[in-house]
Amino acid sequence: MGDKCRYSNTDIPQLAALALGDPPRRWEELGFAVRDGHVDLGGVRVTLAADGRGIVSWGIRGLEETTDIDGLPLAPIPPPSKPVSHPNGATAIDHVVVVSPDFDRTAAALAAAKLPLRRIRDAGGFRQGFRRLGPTILELVEATTAPAGPARFWGLVVIVDDLEALKERLTDRLGDIKPAVQQGRHIATLRSHAELGQKLAFMDPEP
């Protein structure tokens, strides 16, 4: 599919933006094309060097006006991004992961914002909830051992054309390629010495 967004119905809430505290050079070192301090991935604009650490906010097109969802700040919606070719073969964001010490509270806040979870599964001691946000999936994870507090962004997973080629490019910065939960797909997680403020993993495309 390349960098073209398949989800053009603006009546459906769509992830349009993420703001991250990472320095642009770290994403350039991972093979992303950084332009004017941002990375365009499958219709989502990732702005770097934001004030804070990790994922600091998200922008959702088609959402009713609000400032945050259970502590997850909302960012302004950028203009539509243009297709970009990334040296590392990245094409889109597969999913964004949010963790919460109170799964029911965060799920209710999402529902109140017209973003109800579409599927909930028991992952063996904790729950996961999912819904599509245009080109990307929101994954809510129950953090059973976390202290009380608001929900927070945990990380994101990027789709690349060739996961084996990316492993060769990043060498020891990328962990082993393993079978993903999604049948027929594989995933590899960036190791901590890449020094990003949030977790970042890479997946091969859907079969």
Domains of the chain with CATH codes: 14-203 (3.10.180.10)
pLDDT at 47 over 90: yes
Q: What is the pLDDT of residues 107-131, one digit of tens each?
A: 999 999 999 999 999 988 999 999 9
Global pTM exceeds 0.85 = yes
Torsion, Cα of 115, 116, 121, 124 (10° steps): 80
Q: What is the pLDDT of residues 81-104, one digit of tens each?
A: 778 999 999 999 999 999 999 999
Identify the pLDDT of residue 26: 96
Task: Tell me if 194 sits within 8 A of 173, measured CB to CB.
Answer: yes
What's the whole-number mean pLDDT along residues 59-68?
83
What's the whole-number mean pLDDT along residues 169-182?
94
Tell me what the pLDDT averaged over the chain comes to.
91
Identify the pLDDT of residue 10: 54
Alpha-carbon distance 113 to 31, whole Å? 35
Return the percentage of the chain with pLDDT > 70, whole number.
94
Tokens of residue 187, six digits = 């995933």
Label residue 11 by pLDDT band (50, 70, 90). Answer: low
What's the whole-number mean pLDDT along residues 133-159?
95
Identify the pLDDT of residue 5: 40
H helices of 68-128, in order, are 103-112
